[in-house]
A and B are shown apart, each in its own frame.
Chain A
Amino acid sequence: MIDGFLALYIFMLAAFTGKEIIGRVPVILHTPLMSGSNFVHGIVLVGAMIALAHAESTLAITIGFIGVILGAGNAAGGYVVTERMLEMFKSSKDKK
C-alpha cells in the first residue's frame, strides 16, 4: 500500500510535471492536446480491469464490467480521434 505522504509527494510532483510539460503549447495544438490528454486518462481501464477481476458478487461484477467498457471506450476513442487530428499536422516541407 502506498503510504499517505508518499502518495502526496507523487501527486505533487505529477501535478507540476503536468503543468510544465505543456507550458508552451501553441494555440493550434489546444484541441489535439486536450484530446490527447483525454486519451491518457483512459488508463482508468487498468483500474477497472483489476476491479472486475476482484469482483465476486453479481452487483460488483456488473459495476466492474460497465467500468471496463467505459474505460476501454475512453482509451480507444481518445486514441483514434487524437491520431486523426494530429495526422494532419504536416509542414509544407513534408509534402511531395
Chain B
Amino acid sequence: MATEEMLNWIANASYFLAAVLFILGIKRMASPVTARKGIVQAGIGMVIATLATFAITKGHNIELIVLGIAIGVIPTWLWGKKVAMTDMPQMVALFNGMGGGSAAAIGAGELLKFSHPGSAPPMTTIGLAVLGALIGSVSMTGSIIAWAKLDGRMDKRFNFPGQQIFNFLILAGAIVAGIALIAWQVDSRLIIAFFALALLFGILMTLPIGGADMPVVISLFNALTGLAVAFEGYVMNIPALIIAGTVVGAAGTFLTQLMAKAMNRPISGVLFSNFGGGGSGEAITGAQKPIEASDAASLLYMAEKVIIVPGYGMAVAQAQHKIWELTQALIKAGKEVKFAIHPVAGRMPGHMNVLLAEAGVPYDLIADMDDINPEFKTCDVSIVIGANDVVNPAAKTDKSSPIYGMPILNVVDSRQTIVIKRGKGTGFAGIENALFYADNTRLLYADGKEAANQLISELKMIEGGGGH
C-alpha cells in the first residue's frame, strides 16, 4: 500500500512539473529569442508526464500501451522530420486532428464505462465527457479535411444549396443526442449515433471553407482540441490535462483572433461565408512596364536601401535560397536590405518567416508590416516577389474592391518598385493590382528563382566593370 501511495505521489508530482514546464514552454515560444528553448522545455515536460504515467498504470495492458505509443510515435516522427517546410501547415492540422481523436476516444471509453448499469457518475462528469467528445470529434474530422485541402488532395471548396441549414441540423442532432446521454441515460446505441453525428459535422463544417481561410480554421481546431483535452482531463481526474488543455484552449482562441485580425477576416465570416465571390473593383487604366534583369540590377546597384517583399509565389518557385543569396550580395555591396512580411504572407501567419528562416535569413532582417510600412517612403527600390494582393493599394483606395479594408504593405510609396512575376495574371483574390500599373513600377517577367539568379550575375558584372 505504501508503495502504491508513493507511486501515486511521484506521478502527481511529475504531472505538476509537466504543467509548469508546458506553461513556461509556451511562454518562451512566444518570443523569437527563447522560442527554441521553449519547445525543448515543453518536450521534457511531455516525457516526464508520459514516464510517470507508467508508475500508476500498474502494468495493466502495458504491452498494448507501449505498442500503441510506438505505432503513434515512429511514423509521425519520421514523417515530421522529412516533410518540406512549405507543407508544415497541413502537418499541424493532421497532428491536431490526432489529438482531437484521442480526446474523443477517451470520451467514448468513459461513456462506455458509464453505460454499465449502476455506474453512472454525477451529471457534470457525463456532461463534460460528452462535451469533450463532441469537440474532439469535430476537431478530428475537421482537421483531416483541412489537411486534405491544404495538401491539394481535395477540391478546394464544396457547396450545395441549403448547406448551412443542413450542417446546422447535423450539429443540432449531435447536441440533442449528447443531451439525451446526459439527462436520460447512457445508452450504447445513443453513443454511436452521437459520435457519428459529431464526426460528420466536423467534415461538413470544413468542406465549404476555402484554402485561404484554412489557417484560421486550423488555429480554431487547435484551440478546440485543447478544450476537449481539458474536459476529458476533468472526467479522468488528471489536473495536468485540465491545465495544459485549458492553457492551449485559451492561447489558441486568442491566437485565432490575432490571425483573423491580421487577415481582416472576422471568424464568423470564415466559418459561415465564402471568400472571393465579391465585386471586381474599379478597372485600371495604363500598362504594365517591363524591365530587363540587367536594368533591374543597375537600379539595385544605385540604391542605398532595398526592401524585399516576398509572397507565397516565391515559396512555390522555391526561390527563397536564391533571394537570400541576392540579399547577401546586396549587403556585401553596402546596401541596407530588409524583408517586409505581410501578416498573411505564405499560407498562414508566420509561415513566410519560417520559409525565409529555412533559407538562412536571420530574423532580425525580417520586419513586420507595422514596423516596415513607414520605411517604404525612404526606400530606393522595393522588390516584390510572388506577392500580389497584400501589396495592392486598392485595399486602401477602392471601396468597391473585394479586398477593401485589408491592411497592406505600402510598397506603392517606395521610389522604385521591381515586381518579379511569371506572367500578367491576378492574385489569389482574382483582382487587378494597381501597383503593377504605377509609373514607378517595373515588371521583371521571370520565374522567381531564375530572376534572382539573373540579378545576382548582373550585379556581379556591374561590380566587376565598375572597378572598385
B-contacting residues of A (Cβ < 8 Å)? Answer: 1-2, 4, 7, 10-11, 14-19, 21-55, 57, 59-61, 63-95
Question: Is B377 an interface residue, CB under 8 A from the partner?
Answer: no
Q: Is the CB of B250 within 8 A of A18?
A: yes
Interfacial chain B residues near A46, Cβ < 8 Å: 15, 49-50, 53, 238, 240-241
Given A2-B239, A55-B61, A59-B112, are A33 and B255 also a contact pair (CB < 8 Å)?
yes
Q: Is the CB of B60 within 8 A of A70?
A: no
| Interface residue from B26, B71, B105, B343 paired with A48 (Cβ < 8 Å) | B105
Q: Is the CB of B109 within 8 A of A77?
A: no
Q: What is the minimal beta-carbon distance from B221 to any residue of chain A, in angstroms?
A: 9
Q: Is the CB of A31 within 8 A of B50?
A: no
Nearest CB in chain A to that of B89: its residue = A31
Q: Is the CB of A77 within 8 A of B106?
A: no
Interface residues on chain B, number (Cβ under 8 Å): 121
Q: What is the minimal beta-carbon distance from A73 to any residue of chain B, in angstroms?
A: 4
Q: Is the CB of A11 within 8 A of B77?
A: no
Q: Is the CB of A68 within 8 A of B350?
A: no
Q: Is the CB of B106 within 8 A of A47?
A: yes
A27-B258, A65-B67 are known; give 15 further A-B pairs, CB within 8 A. Answer: A18-B247, A18-B252, A28-B353, A41-B225, A67-B105, A67-B109, A70-B72, A73-B75, A74-B72, A76-B80, A77-B79, A77-B94, A79-B42, A79-B46, A85-B85
Q: Is the CB of B60 within 8 A of A34?
A: no
Question: Is B5 an interface residue, CB under 8 A from the partner?
Answer: no
Chain A contact residues: helix, strand, loop or mixed = helix
Q: What is the minimal beta-carbon distance from B313 to any residue of chain A, in angstroms?
A: 18
Q: Is the CB of B109 within 8 A of A7?
A: no
Q: Is the CB of A19 within 8 A of B254?
A: yes
Q: Is the CB of A77 within 8 A of B350?
A: no
A-contacting residues of B (Cβ < 8 Å)? Answer: 15, 18, 22-23, 25-27, 29-33, 35-36, 38-40, 42-43, 46, 49-50, 53-54, 56-58, 60-62, 64-65, 67-77, 79-81, 83, 85, 88-89, 91-92, 94-96, 98-99, 101-103, 105-106, 108-110, 112-113, 124, 215, 218-219, 222, 225-226, 229-230, 232-234, 236-255, 258-259, 262, 341, 343, 346, 348-351, 353-354, 357-358, 360, 362-366, 368-369
Given A38-B95, A46-B49, are A77 and B32 also a contact pair (CB < 8 Å)?
no
Task: Give me the 8 closest cross-chain CB pairs, A-B, nearest first.
Answer: A72-B72, A18-B250, A67-B105, A68-B68, A80-B80, A88-B357, A53-B57, A92-B362
State the CA gap A50–B284 with chains docked (Å).
Answer: 64
Name 5 interchain pairs, CB-CB below 8 A, sorted by A.
A21-B27, A24-B30, A31-B89, A65-B64, A81-B80
Task: Select the residue from A2, A84, A87 with max chain B CB neighbours within 10 A.
Answer: A84
Interfacial chain B residues near A2, Cβ < 8 Å: 234, 237, 239, 242
Interfacial chain B residues near A83, Cβ < 8 Å: 36, 39-40, 43
Q: Is the CB of A29 within 8 A of B105?
A: no
Given A38-B222, A61-B64, are A31 and B242 also a contact pair (CB < 8 Å)?
no
Q: Is the CB of A75 within 8 A of B46?
A: yes
Interfacial chain A residues near B215, Cβ < 8 Å: 31
Q: Is the CB of A90 within 8 A of B357?
A: yes
Q: Is the CB of B350 within 8 A of A32?
A: yes
State the CA gap A66–B250 with chains docked (Å).
Answer: 27
State the CA gap A2–B33 with chains docked (Å).
Answer: 38
Interfacial chain B residues near A38, Cβ < 8 Å: 92, 95-96, 99, 222, 225, 248
State the CA gap A19–B23 with chains docked (Å).
Answer: 11
Q: Is the CB of B349 within 8 A of A31?
A: yes
Given A64-B109, A70-B99, A84-B80, are A43 and B242 also a contact pair (CB < 8 Å)?
no
